[in-house]
C-alpha cells in the first residue's frame, strides 16, 4: 500500500464506507491523511469524580461496580445504567436504547469515560453516552482529534482509520526544497502529517499546523502566479506614447473626477507609458466610478493606435457598458463593437471581421470575446470587469489575444486586503474609495418576516411618489429542500397586493431577449416593481429606483447584500434598502446589524470574510481557486507576505516548475488546483 492506494486498503474500510468517504472527497490514503481535524479535545488529564461539575466535560478513570441492563425498556430499547467508582466518589453512566451493549462492561474492571457531567435523578452525578475504553488500553487519553463527518461515519472510525494511515506518513516524500524548509524553520512534511492528527503536546501541534498552513498558502500562491503567466516580475509590454494625452476626454465628461479617480488615472497612465506590461486591479465600491477610469484608459490605447477590449460577466452589464461607452466614444471618432453569445450568426461574422481588420477600435462583450475564432488586429489593452466572476484562466486567455497587452481588472465587490494579496498577488492595486458628488446615502433597515406587510406598504408609498422598487429573492422557484421565498411566489403575491401597478419578474433562466426587454421597460419607468433573483446584482443603473427589498436576506453574503443595495441611490432621490430576515440565529442578527450600521463596502467585505471564511467569500470553488483545508486568510494574515515572497522567488527561478528541484512542488500544486490549473506546459 502507498499514498495513492485506495482507502479500501485500510483495515475497516469496505466498499460501503468508501462510498461514504467519497462524499468527503476522500478516495485515497493521501486524501485521508490530508483530511485534517476541525478541532481537538484535550483528554490528557484525569479528573476525580469528586471534582466533577455538571455542565463540563471530563476524562474519568473508574471501576464499574454495578450494571443494570434489564430494568428499563425491552430488547434494543433497554436503558443500560452503570455505577462507577474511582475512590473519590461515584457517578452513574447511562446509555439509552442500549440493549446491544449488555456485554460491553464487566463489574470489577477499570474503564476510562469521557463525556459531559450532568445532574441526574436525585441530584446524582451522571454521564450520558460517554465515550469509553478499558483503562489499560489508554485509547481515550491524549489530545484527541475531532473531524467533520458525514452520516454513517463515526469519530471513532475516523480516528482508527487515521491511525492506520498515519503509519505511512513516515515514508511520505518531502516536496519542498531544503532551503525553503530551512529559511522558514519548517518541520518535515511527515512530522506535520503525524502531529496534525495525534499531537503529543501543544508545541508539536503548532509546529505541524504551521508547516501545513505554509504549504497550503505556498501552493495556492505559486499556482496562481503560474496561472498568471508566471507573474514573478514585470514583463516587457507596450510603451504607450507619453505625448498622447487624455485631457480632452476627461474634460468632455459631465462631472469632474473625484480625487480617488484622479489618483487611479495617474497610476494607470504611468503603467501604460512604461515599457513594462500593466497588471492593475481597480477596486472600488458600488457607484465609485470605475467604468469612467476604464474609459480613459481605453481612450489612451486607441489614440495611441491600439485596440482595447472590455469583458463583462453578464450580458446585461456588457450591453449597458456598450450603450454608454459607444455614445461617448463616437464624439472622438472611436468605433465601438459588441460581441456576446446571443448575437445572431450574421452579426457575429460581421463583428469578427471588423475586429480582425481593426475597424472596431473598442470591443465590449461577454466571455464570447475569448473564443478561439476572435482575432484582433492590434490589441493593446485588456479590461476585465467583475474579475472574480470569471474562471482564473479567463483573464490569461483574453491577454493572449494580443502581444503582451496591458491588463486591468475591475471589481465593485470590495476585496479585503487579505484576499487581494492571494487572489491578485501579481497585480498593482488602485483603490477608488470615495463616491462621486450627488450619490445618495441609502437608509438600511432590517426587519423580521412579521413586518413584511409594513415593508410593502412603504414600497407602495414610494411608488405613489413616482419612484420604482426592486424585490430580490434567493431562488427562482419554490424548493422542497430549502425553506425560502422564491421569486415566482413573491411575484404572484405582489400581483395581488399591487393591483393597478405594473409588476414584472426577471431571472436567469429567461431568454436574453426577454430579460433585455424587461430591463429596458424598467429603465424607461414602465415597470413599478421588478421582482428578481441576483441577476440584477451588477450592471443595472436605474436612477429612478429608490427601494430595494431583499427577501430571506440571511441567505445572501454581506458583500452580495451590499452589491444589491447599490442598485438604488443612483439618482437624486432618497433611497432605502429593507432586509427581510427569516432567521432568528445570532449570526443572522449580527450580519443584519453590520448592513444597517455601515455603507463602507471594505468594512463589510472584511466582516463577510470573518463570518463566512475565505472558501465561501466568492464561491471560489466555482472560479478556480481551491478551498483551503487548514489555512485561514484572516487568522494567518501574518504569513501571507512571507509566502508571497517565497512564491515569487520560486516562479522567478523556474516559471514552469520544470526542474527536478521544483517538480515535487509542481505535482503538489497541480493536485491542489485539480483541473483549474494551466501551467502553460
What are the structural domains, with CATH classification, of the chain?
45-140 (2.40.50.140), 173-230+634-681 (no CATH), 247-432 (3.40.50.300), 442-598 (3.40.50.300)
C-alpha cell at 33: 491523511
Query: Of all helices (H) and strands (E), which one includes residue 43?
Result: strand 39-43
| 327-338 CB burial, b ≥16 within 10 A, e <16 | ebbeeeebebbb
C-alpha cell at 398: 483574453
Low-confidence ranges of the chain (pLDDT < 50): 230-233, 615, 617-623, 680-681
Could you give the CA distance from residue 82 to residue 65 in angstroms, rounded to a whole number? 8
Could you give the CA distance from residue 197 to residue 143 in angstroms, rounded to a whole number? 9
Could you give the angle at the alpha carbon of 36 between the alpha carbons of 613 and 160, nearest 5°? 150
Residue-level pLDDT at 540:
66
Residue-level pLDDT at 603:
80
Q: Is 438 helix (H, G, I), strand (E, B) or coil?
A: coil
Could you give the CA distance from residue 288 to residue 291 in angstroms, rounded to a whole number? 9
Kindly tell me the burial class for residue 156, based on how many C-beta atoms sit within 10 Å of its own C-beta (0-12, 13-18, 19 or more): exposed
Under 8 Å between Cβ of 240 and 304: yes
Q: What is the DSSP letter of 170?
A: G
Ramachandran region of residue 310, left (φ > 0), alpha (ψ -120 to 50) or beta? beta
- Could you give the residue ranges of the DSSP H alpha helices within 435-524? 452-464, 487-497, 512-523
Could you give the CA distance from residue 166 to residue 13 in angstroms, rounded to a whole number? 15
Residue-level pLDDT at 548:
96
Closest by CA position to 287, among listed 627, 9, 645, 566: 566
Residue-level pLDDT at 158:
95
Under 8 Å between Cβ of 88 and 66: no
Cα of first residue to Cα of last residue in the chain, in angstroms, is: 31
Could you give the CA distance from residue 571 to residue 525 in angstroms, rounded to a whole number? 13
Residue-level pLDDT at 435:
73
Q: Is 597 helix (H, G, I), strand (E, B) or coil?
A: helix
Scanning the structure block, which residue is given the C-alpha cell 475569448? Answer: 370
Scanning the structure block, which residue is given the C-alpha cell 443584519? Answer: 592
Under 8 Å between Cβ of 47 and 111: no
Could you give the CA distance from residue 259 to residue 669 in angstroms, rounded to a whole number? 42
Q: Is 237 helix (H, G, I), strand (E, B) or coil?
A: coil
Interacting residues of 368 by C-beta distance below 8 A, sequence separation 6+: 339, 340, 341, 343, 374
Q: Is 80 helix (H, G, I), strand (E, B) or coil?
A: strand
Under 8 Å between Cβ of 127 and 93: yes
Amino acid at each position: 500500500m502507498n499514498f495513492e492506494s485506495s482507502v479500501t486498503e485500510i483495515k475497516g474500510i469496505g466498499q460501503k464506507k468508501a462510498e461514504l468517504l467519497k462524499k468527503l472527497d476522500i478516495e485515497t490514503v493521501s486524501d485521508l491523511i490530508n483530511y485534517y481535524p476541525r478541532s481537538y479535545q484535550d483528554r490528557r488529564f484525569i479528573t476525580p469524580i469528586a471534582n466533577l461539575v455538571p455542565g463540563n466535560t471530563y476524562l474519568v478513570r473508574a471501576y464499574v461496580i454495578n450494571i443494570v441492563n434489564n430494568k428499563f425498556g425491552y430488547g434494543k430499547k433497554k436503558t443500560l445504567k452503570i455505577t462507577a467508582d474511582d475512590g473519590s466518589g461515584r457517578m452513574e453512566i447511562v446509555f439509552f436504547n442500549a440493549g446491544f451493549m449488555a456485554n460491553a462492561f464487566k463489574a470489577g474492571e477499570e474503564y476510562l469515560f469521557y463525556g459531559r457531567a450532568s445532574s441526574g435523578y436525585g441530584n446524582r452525578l451522571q454521564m450520558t453516552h460517554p465515550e469509553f475504553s478499558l483503562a489499560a488500553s489508554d485509547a481515550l487519553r491524549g489530545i484527541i482529534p475531532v473531524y467533520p463527518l458525514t452520516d454513517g461515519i463515526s469519530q471513532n472510525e475516523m480516528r482508527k482509520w487515521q491511525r492506520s494511515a498515519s503509519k505511512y506518513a513516515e515514508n511520505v516524500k518531502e516536496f519542498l526544497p531544503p532551503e525553503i524548509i530551512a529559511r522558514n524553520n519548517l518541520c518535515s512534511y511527515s512530522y506535520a502529517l503525524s502531529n496534525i492528527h495525534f499531537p503529543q503536546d501543544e508545541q508539536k501541534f503548532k509546529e505541524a499546523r504551521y508547516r501545513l498552513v505554509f504549504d497550503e498558502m505556498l501552493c495556492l500562491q505559486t499556482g496562481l502566479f503560474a496561472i498568471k503567466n508566471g507573474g514573478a516580475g514585470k514583463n516587457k509590454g507596450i510603451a504607450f506614447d507619453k505625448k498622447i494625452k487624455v485631457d480632452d476626454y476627461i474634460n468632455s465628461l459631465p462631472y469632474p473626477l473625484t480625487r480617488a479617480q484622479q489618483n487611479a488615472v495617474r497610476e494607470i497612465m504611468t503603467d501604460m507609458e512604461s515599457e513594462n506590461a500593466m497588471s492593475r486591479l481597480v477596486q472600488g465600491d458600488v457607484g465609485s466610478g470605475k467604468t469612467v477610469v476604464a474609459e480613459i484608459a481605453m481612450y489612451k490605447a486607441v489614440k495611441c493606435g491600439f485596440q482595447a477590449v472590455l469583458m463583462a460577466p453578464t450580458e446585461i452589464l456588457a450591453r449597458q457598458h456598450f450603450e454608454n461607452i459607444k455614445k461617448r466614444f463616437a464624439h472622438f471618432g472611436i468605433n465601438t463593437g459588441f460581441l456576446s453569445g446571443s448575437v445572431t450568426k450574421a452579426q457575429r461574422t460581421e463583428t469578427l471581421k471588423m475586429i480582425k481588420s481593426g475597424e472596431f477600435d473598442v470591443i465590449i462583450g461577454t466571455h464570447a470575446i475569448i473564443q478561439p475564432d476572435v482575432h484582433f488586429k492590434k490589441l493593446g489593452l485588456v479590461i476585465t470587469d467583475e474579475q472574480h466572476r470569471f474562471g482564473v484562466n479567463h483573464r490569461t486567455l483574453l491577454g493572449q489575444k494580443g502581444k503582451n497587452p496591458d491588463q486591468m481588472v475591475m471589481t465593485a465587490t470590495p476585496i479585503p486586503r487579505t484576499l487581494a494579496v492571494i487572489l491578485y498577488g501579481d497585480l498593482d492595486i488602485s483603490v477608488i474609495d470615495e463616491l462621486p458628488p450627488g450619490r445618495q446615502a441609502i437608509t438600511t433597515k432590517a426587519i423580521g418576516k412579521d413586518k413584511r406587510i409594513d415593508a410593502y406598504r412603504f414600497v407602495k408609498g414610494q411608488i405613489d411618489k413616482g419612484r420604482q422598487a426592486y424585490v430580490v429573492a434567493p431562488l427562482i422557484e419554490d424548493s422542497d429542500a430549502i425553506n425560502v421565498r422564491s421569486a415566482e411566489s413573491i411575484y404572484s403575491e405582489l400581483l395581488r397586493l399591487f393591483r393597478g401597478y405594473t409588476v414584472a419578474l426577471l431571472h436567469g433562466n429567461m431568454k436574453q431577449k426577454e430579460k433585455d426587454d424587461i430591463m429596458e421597460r424598467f429603465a424607461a419607468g414602465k415597470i413599478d416593481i421588478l421582482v428578481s433573483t441576483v441577476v440584477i446584482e451588477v450592471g443595472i443603473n436605474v436612477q429612478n429606483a429608490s427601494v430595494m427589498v431583499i427577501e430571506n436576506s440571511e441567505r445572501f453574503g454581506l458583500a452580495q447584500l451590499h452589491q444589491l443595495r447599490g442598485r438604488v441611490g443612483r439618482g437624486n432621490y432618497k433611497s432605502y434598502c429593507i432586509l427581510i430576515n427569516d432567521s432568528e440565529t445570532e449570526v443572522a442578527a449580527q450580519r443584519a446589524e453590520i448592513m444597517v450600521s455601515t455603507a463602507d463596502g471594505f468594512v463589510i467585505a472584511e466582516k463577510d470574510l470573518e463570518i463566512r471564511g475565505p472558501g465561501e467569500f466568492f464561491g471560489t470553488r466555482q472560479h478556480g481557486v481551491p478551498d483551503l483545508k487548514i489555512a485561514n486568510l484572516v487568522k494567518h494574515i501574518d504569513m501571507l507576505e512571507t509566502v508571497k515572497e517565497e512564491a515569487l522567488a520560486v516562479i522567478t527561478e523556474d516559471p514552469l516548475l520544470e526542474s527536478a528541484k521544483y517538480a515535487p512542488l509542481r505535482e503538489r500544486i497541480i493536485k491542489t488546483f485539480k483541473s483549474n490549473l494551466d501551467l502553460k506546459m
